[in-house]
Structure 1
Amino acid sequence: MTKIAVLVSGGGTNLQALIDAQNRGELKNGEITAVISSKAGAYALERAQKAGIPGYVVARKEYDSNRAMTQALVARLKELDIGLVVLAGFMHILTEEMVAAYPNAILNVHPALIPSFCGAGYYGLHVHEKALAYGVKVTGATVHFVNEEPDGGPIVLQKAVDILPGDTPEVLQRRVMEQAEWIILPKAVSLFCEGRLSVEGRTVLIQEGEL
């Protein structure tokens, strides 16, 4: 059984999607055993508590750099014997110590079809504002492995979502979450825990089975 830690900074909607999938038995061979927040008082910690999952705080403001915070996070993850790290609305850049400690074992969900609308500065509502401003007809979400480049790691799963007339960034954000993020993130986590993912260069290969 792979022990999963979910890293959060805010409300934890993607965390809730993972908790719901776990409760439905959809995280095969995996279990969320820790939720770690970058700030105290994040609502995601309440979600974890309600689900009976231990919550921890590694607060960014307590460290003088992202590197120092990353080193503290790695130490906590190792202490908890974590096998998979999931970034679910974690709002801080992690330095190379994290990737070195968990190569191809950190998953992130991004609210666009990478390589569109991704990289430094593209997070949260900004992604949807940019997609609407550009006038694309289709957006979506991507789950990818994390490497040293923001949103630059090998892609595991993607799901497209149509942009509709009259969409606002907020409306589009909700649709992308409901129709893409909350579906493909639990799937990707389960595939990892089942040992069905392998990485060759930039390509993630998925062993046959149910998706």
Structure 2
Amino acid sequence: MKKVALIFLILLSSVFFSNSLEENFIKARNFHDIDLIKDVISTAKKEQNNVIYAEALMEYALWGDSEDKEKLYTEALEVIKKEIEKDPNNGRAYYVAGAIVGRLAQYKGIVQSLFMLNDFDNYIEKAIEILDDNFYKGLALIAMGMRFRDVPWPLRSYKKAEKYLLDALEILPNYPNIHLELGKLYEKMGKVEEAKKEYEIVINSNAHPLLNATHEEAKEEARQLLQNLK
């Protein structure tokens, strides 16, 4: 009886710490808390939680105080690739891998980044296919929309970009950043009035409950972009 109780406590403890790590990651990302994201990275590494470790490294490289973003992205990509090999049905892992490839490509120059495009497509398409988590599926759809909007011709497709972004908006209607990306798309398409409307939506919207700091950045960017169109 005591042995059963001990096993139960160990399992309960494991679940508690795992949930605590996820909660801390969500909080760090939400408010761009540098100290907390560093703690999440350290804890995730110790617990060998590769998905959160890789995603936290990516977030820290994106908005933290790191001076070597490329190194962090590279390490995060190596870790998440191993996780995908271990668990090929982990949709979140595919999204994280694709997002990291996208960020890493920014440091590789146009030619090298185009060579990475196939990896990005494979990861994000797989994420969209198997994810049942609307939050991460929405992020994956946004990433694919931006991909078709921003790559050089003939690899881009504004029609596909719009479709992916509108699909993302359908499952994440409370994430105003999608309107920011739509506004940028409509600008590129020469649809100035539509772009203005999208930017105004961002400026007058409330943040997604998990992405407050990102929303403030989006509102500031939308204000600047709208001003440039006036």
Report the TM-score, using the length of structure 1 for normalisation: 0.31
Larger RCO: 1 or 2 (CA < 8 Å, sep 6+) = 1
Greater strand share, 1 or 2?
1
Report the TM-score, using the length of structure 2 for normalisation: 0.29
Structure label with greater radius of gyration: 2
Greater helix share, 1 or 2?
2
